[in-house]
Amino acid sequence: MSEQTFLEAIRAGLHEEMSRDSAVYVFGEDVSLGGPFGVTKGLAEDFGTQRVVNTPISEGTVMGLAIGAATAGLRPVVEIMFIDFITLALDQLVNHAAKLYYMSGGQLAIPLTVRVQCGISGAMGAHHSQSLESWLAHVPGLQVVMPSNPADAKGLLKAAIRDDNPVVFIEHRGLYWGRGDVPNGDHLVPIGQAAVLHAGEHVTIVALANMVGAALAAADELAASGISAEVIDPRSVSPLDIGTIVESVRKTGRMVVAHEAVEQGGVGAEITAVVQQHALYYLDAPILRVAAPFAPVPASPALEKEFLPGQKRIVQSVKKLFAHS
């Protein structure tokens, strides 16, 4: 084990995969300079600007270039600076990358990894703070992962790069400088496998990305009130490991789903619907969601703090479930 930041773990994963496989290329705006947060810093020095390629400021062009490279046998990793800007590349990603394997009858593999960062952090306002994972999870042919700690960040990224299908790898920038232990060696985390991070008996808390830390803190706070919370990190939004979640809910009888995206149409709604299909008669109270308001993210630091869901709202929601009972 070695302690690394989330950002360092992603960089290490990229470096290892580029060293292992000469078909791995990195494309994006300013990637040879390190990108906006320094994730790709040093890669151009180690692998050259023929494999760490600066691109024009045109997300659609970059995505199309990478899809073409994937069909030709490379394993491109595309960096889109902010998930807000992936909207400019959705035609290429949704209508081509996600569908070419199916439409070619399996003749075209698209081993494409798309790195995007998301989330509410640093008062960057409505154009740089969204969480759009539910848009991407709605597309057949795309896999969507959201790590919450450095070990999973490295392991999921390496798994994504080796996958023969498109994977959108979503990084919450609020996690970049958080530290954690990362296994040494060739560490891989399977796509589509959730992690039970805290065992509990009375309520299941399912949390995504930055909200995982808030959920774990909430579990500690709830324990002081005699409530034992099980915390699950799906890690993968599509495919979703619903089996692990359902098994937990059948044990606890209660569930809260927490994510930073707005509540309406969020991943929490999908998780809620599927759990009710498989565990309705095990539930002792309605499933509750903790999410952001249905509004653009404010730029004011004070308003952003109020906008952001967190530990307090998770605890309140859990206690509300027991009031129902």
Measured distance CA(71)–CA(227) in Å, rounded: 52
Question: What does the alpha-carbon distance between residue 189 and residue 155 come to, in Å, rounded to a whole number?
Answer: 5
- Per DSSP, the three-state class of 50 is coil
Q: Give the three-class secondary structure for 104.
A: coil
Q: Strands 75-80, 24-28: parallel, antiparallel or unpaired by DSSP?
A: parallel
DSSP for 144-195, please give it: EE---SHHHHHHHHHHHHH-SS-EEEEEEGGGTT-EEEE-SSS----TT--E
Residues 6+ away with beta carbon under 8 Å from 249: 204, 255, 275, 279, 282, 283
Pinpoint the alpha helices (H) of the chain.
6-20, 43-47, 59-71, 90-92, 100-103, 133-137, 150-162, 211-223, 242-252, 267-279, 301-307, 311-324
Active-site residues, by number, are 128
Residues 6+ apart with CB under 8 A from 170: 83, 116, 117, 118, 133, 144, 145, 146, 209, 237
Reference 258, options 297, 203, 303, 184; nearest CA is: 203
Q: How far apart are CA 23 and CA 206, in angstroms?
A: 37
Radius of gyration of the chain (CA): 20
Residue found by looking up tokens 């003749």 in the block: 107
